[in-house]
Amino acid sequence: MNGLLAENNGNRRSDIINVLLSAIIAVLVLVIVALLFFVTPMSVSGQSMYPTYHDGDKVLLSKVGYTVGRGDVIVFKIPGDDSPPIKRVIGLPGDVIYFDIDKMDYTINGEPLDDFATETGYLPYYFSTSDLSVYTALTTTGITVGENMLFVLGDNRNVSKDSHVYGCISQDWIVGKVILHY
């Protein structure tokens, strides 16, 4: 009788181990599928989003099923550039973005930008080194954000190369929307 109990205990242990291994494998498969198709981790590079994000910070991006709104932080791929920037969405399709030289601040559709910038009263660094066509439009007539386009800026504007340099970006360029900062 003791031999039968020992055999049953051994079978139970084996069954428990099999269930645990199956559960671990199932979780690993789900994590891999999620990372391949739904979310992706990324390391922040540079200081353009300081103090919100620091160089080396980790973020998790949603790759599907998200909507983009003003104030959201996205990562996008500029064609021909290997380093995907992380920026904040400031302008949506149809918005008119204007940079007021006198106030040294942006307006959206005539209203002051509810700003995330770390500094105000500055002339962004890249204005002086970039193609001035975007800057000229921003400071004279403003830029109207086109259909399927976004106007993006870094929070640390005095070092951020963003839409005030290269203009609006295509929504097709978006890699993902930041959903977690860790």
Active-site annotation holds for 48: yes
Catalytic-labelled residue, pool 48, 160, 161, 163 = 48
Active-site annotation holds for 87: yes
- Grouping H, G, I as helix, E, B as strand and the rest as coil, residue 14 is helix
Catalytic-labelled residue, pool 87, 161, 163, 177 = 87
- 53 Cβ partners below 8 Å, 6+ apart? 44, 59, 73, 86, 155, 181
> Would you please indicate which residues are annotated as catalytic (active-site) residues?
48, 87
